[in-house]
Structure formats: C-alpha cells, structure tokens
Amino acid sequence: MAQPIQQCVIPAAGLGTRFLPATKALPKELLPVGNRPAIQWGVEEAAAAGASEMVIVLSEGKELIRDHFAPSPALEELLRARGKETQLEAVRSVSSLAQFTYTYQDQPLGLGHAVLCAREHVRKDPFFCLLPDDVSYGAAPVLAQLGEAFQRFGTTVLALMRVSEEQISRYGSVAVAETVGKYHRVTGVVEKPAVKDAPSLLAIMGRYVLLPDIFDHLAHQAPGAGGEIQLTDGIGKMLGTGDIWGVEFDGELLDVGTLEGWYATLFRLAPAYAPKALEMAQSVQ
C-alpha cells in the first residue's frame, strides 16, 4: 500500500478579476461561503483526506489569508472572558486544522507556475493539490476519494466530472483508455479544447494527486492556453513515464470562484447551514 499523502498544495495567488471590485483588497479565497471563507472549506477537505500540512501559494498583498489561519490569542482571550465557548472553539479550530507553510508566486503566470512555486516546500513524495474556488459537497469529500484512488493505483490522480458540449472548452478534457467503475485510465489531456478537439466530455476539476516529477515538467513548460503555464500540460508530460487515473467522483464540487457560482452555492448550502435564510429571502419578494 502507498504511503498516506501528507501535504496539500493550495494555489491562492491569482488576481480574482472575476469578482472585482470585491477582490480589490480582499483575496478571492477569503470570500465567505456561509460562516467560513472559501479557502477554509478547502483546508478542511484536505485535512479530512489526511493531509496534515498545507502549502499555500500566495501573492503579495494576499497576506490576509495567512492571518486567517494564524492563531489569534487576543481574540481567543476575549471570547473566553465573555464565556463565548462556541465562538472560541470556532476560532481556535481554524489554526489547528493543519500545519501551514506559505510561499509566493511573484506574477500570476498560471496555475502550473503557481504549483511550481511550491516546489521547495514539497517533500519528495506524492502530494495533493486543491483549488479553493470549488467547495466539495456530498457524503464523501472529493479529495478523500482521490486519496483512495491513489492507494489503489499509486499514480497521478485527477478529479473528473462529466460536462456538456457547451461547457467542455472551459476545462481540461481527458482521453480515456479503460474504465473500472468510477475510475478511468487517462491517456491524454487537452486544456480548454474547442468542442471538436475534446477527446471526451470528462472535464478535469481542481483536485489532484501529483507526483514530485511534475515539478521538472512544469519548470520546462512553455505557456499554453491563455498564455499561461498550464498545470494540465505538465500533467500530460507525466504520461511519458507512468499511468494517470481519473476519478469520476461522487458528490459535487460547487463553484465559488464566479459570481453566479458563488450565489448558487449559497442557495445550495442554505438549507443545511442557515435554514431560515431562504424563507427570509422569499418573504421579502
């Protein structure tokens, strides 16, 4: 059996342009989704998958993310003095979710480049990578399902979701050679293909198990779709030296990285987290 995965790289250095002006000063990854910022949902998912160290890739000006996960002794003391035990526990649990390591991406050159920026902090073992602009929703968190696939196959693992022809050009698409239940053996990847060039309608979503060899490929990767250094292109190079498996995961990844997705996610989560919210919204219509 493969070693359990301990580290999770979380790229959070992007510009968040789709959310401007909300993200002018506030990092997109700190936009609230219910009572937690988006990135905390991701960290909780990674911790639930067994990761004990988060390597977060920041850019200058996004230090509030670091502040969020740091202990807050003064606030904790105040909550303790006021007997606010529930809130105290909520605050305390944030900094004890995992060990946090931070690194910087100087320029937003793309997701592949952001992952490359984590290289010096990643040990020579397979690691998780999670994009915090999707929230895992369902009985089994998506990253844990990828961890299970890694235990089974010992390879790079991708999260796959079946999408429509209209949607595929927004994602990476995979070519599949073999399917075993929800697992697909991947033989090719294409980032943001035109529909006619998409090898399948299975889209690559923002959850990965990556092997450390990926860094060598990313270091030599030329810019791809959109002029950015694409993680998908680096993953494609991994096919030269080993298999890649994809998991058509159970449950959902809810998009919180676009305005529409963020609103839709709040509606989806309201019944579970703020049951009176929908009633209140309807009563004012």
| Chain positions contacting ligand UTP, by CB under 6 A | 11-18, 28-29, 57, 105, 108-111, 113-114, 131-133, 257
Nearer of residues 11 and 236 to ligand UTP, judged by Cβ: 11
Q: Which is nearer to ligand UTP, 58 or 176 (CB)?
A: 58
Taking the alpha carbons at both ends of the chain, their separation in whole angstroms is 56
Q: Shortest gap between Cβ of 254 and ligand UTP (angstroms)?
A: 14
The least distance separating ligand UTP from the CB of residue 54, rounded to whole angstroms, comes to: 13
Q: CA-CA distance, 133 to 144, in Å (whole number)?
A: 17
> What sign has the CA pseudo-torsion 164, 167, 168, 171?
negative
Strands 7-11 and 127-130: parallel
CA distances from 70 to 86, 92, 184 (A): 19, 9, 39
Which are the contacts of 12, defined by CB distance < 8 A and separation ≥ 6? Answer: 27, 29, 39, 56, 57, 58, 62, 65, 132
112 vs 147, which CB is nearer to ligand UTP?
A: 112
Buried b (16+ CB within 10 A) or exposed e, 235-253: bbbbeeeeebbbbbbeeeb
Whose Cβ is closer to ligand UTP: residue 145's or residue 230's?
230
| Nearer CB in complex with ligand UTP: 42/126 | 42
* Token pair listed for 7: 């580290």
Minimum CB separation of residue 109 from ligand UTP in Å reads: 5
- C-beta of 214: minimal distance to ligand UTP in Å? 15
Cα distances from 77 to residues 64, 85, 116, 155, 218, in angstroms, run 21, 11, 39, 46, 45
C-beta of 98 vs 131, nearer to ligand UTP: 131
Angle between helices 73-81 and 85-95 (to 10 degrees): 160
Nearest distance in Å: CB 65, ligand UTP: 10
Residue with nearest beta carbon to ligand UTP: 14
Q: How far is the CB of 98 from ligand UTP (least distance, A)?
A: 17
Taking the least distance from each CB to ligand UTP, the nearer of 6 and 103 is 103
- The CB-of-41 to ligand UTP minimum distance in angstroms stands at 12
